[in-house]
């Protein structure tokens, strides 16, 4: 009588158990809980990480790593020992340095490892950096000044008189000998300029200029050099009493591969092909009466005109108009003002084109007043010049 109920109960119980345990409520492809391995650090370590960097401790206590001079172990000379052991951070560092390397700056970053030899390639980079024109980069962001130009100019002082080239102030000096009196002149500098319009609302998006990054900060490089020399000195000092001098630090391996020394066969082929083709073109008779303008020469002309192309007072309609202007040049590189004419326009009405043309004409005449720097032997190439003035990029500087 109860059999049916037992069977039913067992069956239902089984069903429920299966539902609970059998996994039908578990989503088949359960999302794997993402986990991230972390490493735990103690509060002290964290404090050490976040603490402001201490001034470098050059002074007193030498770090635990055994200075080779005082260590009795060097009797077993292992010249091929890894670099760290012979690294001498000798306690009398300041003293010998004072005589040998007087140029070492006081605040040396301590952890300079003299065992890392400077690769021979690096000095060349540094020389590049040194030879690069000193770009004034006092401020990280442009300031709102009156002039917007492709090259930013940041004047350090209360604006001196505006001139084309910088010149130093020469003031009459009472102490100076009378013979060397220079004519009095006011300080002058190129007018301060920024590369974009700086409005109140906009965070300027860049640095005033972008100098090439140096391969290695010069102070660190100098410090490394000084430390290396100190290490050599110490090593020699250590070597004189003890015969097995650890030579490791003194020999920076110059075995770095010469960059691009081995000619690439691909590049070779291309160069050969270009040379061959150029030979052909040179030989082929053309209508040209002189060598073509190089891109550098064209760029120089472009920049020379752009310097005087002041779009600041142009109507916004004219700023949407691209115009083409023809100008005839005399052989000394000066534009013939009377020959400047508008030969094409695009995008605006005639009034806008005329306004743009007047601005362009002013630019050509002003910057051409002393003659553009153009190669005389290529006069045939630039007897007539067509200049296209496109203000598009200047609209939202």
Q: How far is the CB of 204 from another protein (least distance, A)?
A: 11
- Span from 34-42, 95-103, 121-129, 385-393 in contact with another protein (CB under 8 A): 385-393
Q: How far is the CB of 307 from another protein (least distance, A)?
A: 7
At 144, is the secondary structure helix, strand, or coil? coil
Residue 29 contacts another protein per CB under 8 A: no
Rule CB under 8 A: which of 302-321 touch another protein? 302-303, 305-318
Task: Select 232 or 326, whichever has its Cβ closest to another protein.
Answer: 326
Sort strands 341-346 and 161-162 into parallel, antiparallel or unpaired. Answer: unpaired
Task: Select 151 or 242, whichever has its Cβ closest to another protein.
Answer: 151
C-beta separation of 336 from 382 below 8 A: no
Residue 372 contacts another protein per CB under 8 A: no
Residues that bind another protein (rule: CB under 8 A) add up to a total of 79
Cα 263 from chain centroid (whole Å): 28
Question: Binding residue for another protein (CB under 8 A) from 342, 347, 361, 375?
Answer: 361
Binding mask 104-143 for another protein (x = CB under 8 A): ----------------------------------------
Task: Select 38 or 282, whichever has its Cβ closest to another protein.
Answer: 282
Question: Binding residue for another protein (CB under 8 A) from 118, 147, 188, 342?
Answer: 147
Rule CB under 8 A: which of 236-275 touch another protein? 265-266, 269-270, 273-274
Task: Select 70 or 185, whichever has its Cβ closest to another protein.
Answer: 185
Q: How far is CA 288 from CA 252, 375, 376, in A?
A: 57, 16, 15
Report how far apart the first and last C-alpha atoms of the chain are (Å, whole number): 95
Q: How far apart are CA 87 and CA 251, in angstroms?
A: 13
Place of tokens 């094409």: 344
Residue 396 contacts another protein per CB under 8 A: yes
Rule CB under 8 A: which of 272-301 touch another protein? 273-274, 277-278, 280-281, 284, 286-289, 292-293, 298, 301
Residue 202 contacts another protein per CB under 8 A: yes
395: Cβ contacts below 8 Å, ≥ 6 apart: 316, 319, 320
Residue 339 contacts another protein per CB under 8 A: no
Sort strands 341-346 and 322-328 into parallel, antiparallel or unpaired. Answer: antiparallel
What does the CA dihedral 390, 319, 394, 337 come to, rounded to 10 degrees?
A: 60
Q: How far apart are CA 58 and CA 77, in angstroms?
A: 29
At 133, is the secondary structure helix, strand, or coil? coil
Task: Select 23 or 279, whichever has its Cβ closest to another protein.
Answer: 279
Q: How far apart are CA 68 and CA 95, in angstroms?
A: 18
Q: How far apart are CA 195 and CA 326, in angstroms?
A: 28
Q: How far is CA 61 from CA 5, 64, 98, 105, 147, in A?
A: 89, 9, 19, 20, 56
Task: Select 92 or 312, whichever has its Cβ closest to another protein.
Answer: 312
Question: Binding residue for another protein (CB under 8 A) from 191, 222, 252, 347?
Answer: 191
Residue 385 contacts another protein per CB under 8 A: yes
Question: Binding residue for another protein (CB under 8 A) from 119, 187, 362, 371?
Answer: 362
């Amino acid at each position: 009588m109860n059999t049916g109920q037992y069977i039913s109960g067992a069956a239902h119980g089984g069903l429920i158990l299966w539902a609970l345990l059998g996994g039908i409520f578990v989503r088949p492809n359960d999302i794997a809980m993402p986990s991230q391995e972390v490493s735990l650090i103690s509060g002290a370590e964290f404090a050490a990480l976040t603490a402001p960097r201490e001034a470098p401790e050059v002074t007193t206590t030498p770090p635990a790593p055994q200075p080779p001079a005082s260590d009795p172990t060097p009797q077993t000379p292992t010249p091929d020992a890894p670099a760290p052991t012979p690294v001498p951070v000798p306690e009398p560092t300041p003293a010998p340095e004072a005589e040998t390397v007087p140029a070492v700056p006081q605040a040396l970053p301590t952890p300079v490892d003299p065992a890392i030899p400077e690769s021979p390639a690096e000095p060349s980079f540094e020389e590049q950096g040194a030879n690069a024109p000193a770009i004034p980069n006092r401020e990280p962001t442009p300031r709102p000044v009156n002039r917007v130009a492709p090259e930013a100019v940041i004047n350090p002082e209360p604006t001196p008189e505006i001139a084309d080239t910088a010149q130093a102030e020469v003031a009459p000096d009472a102490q100076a000998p009378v013979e060397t009196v220079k004519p009095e002149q006011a300080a002058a500098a190129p007018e301060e300029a920024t590369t974009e319009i700086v409005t109140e609302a906009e965070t300027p998006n860049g640095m005033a200029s972008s100098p090439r990054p140096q391969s290695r900060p010069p102070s660190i490089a100098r410090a490394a050099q000084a430390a290396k020399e100190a290490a050599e000195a110490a090593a020699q000092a250590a070597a004189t009493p003890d015969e097995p001098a650890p030579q490791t630090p003194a020999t920076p391996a110059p075995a770095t591969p010469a960059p691009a020394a081995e000619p690439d066969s691909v590049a070779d082929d291309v160069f050969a092909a270009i040379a061959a083709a150029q030979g052909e073109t040179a030989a082929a008779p053309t209508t040209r009466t002189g060598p073509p303008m190089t891109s550098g020469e064209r760029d120089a002309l472009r920049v020379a005109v752009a310097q005087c192309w002041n779009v600041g007072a142009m109507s916004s309609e004219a700023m949407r108009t691209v115009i083409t202007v023809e100008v005839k040049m005399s052989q000394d590189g000066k534009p013939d003002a009377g020959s400047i004419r508008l030969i094409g326009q695009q995008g605006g009405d005639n009034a806008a084109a005329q306004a743009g043309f007047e601005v362009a004409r002013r630019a050509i005449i002003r910057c051409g007043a002393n003659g553009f720097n153009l190669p005389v032997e290529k006069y045939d190439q630039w007897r007539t010049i067509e200049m296209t003035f496109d203000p598009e990029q200047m609209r939202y500087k």
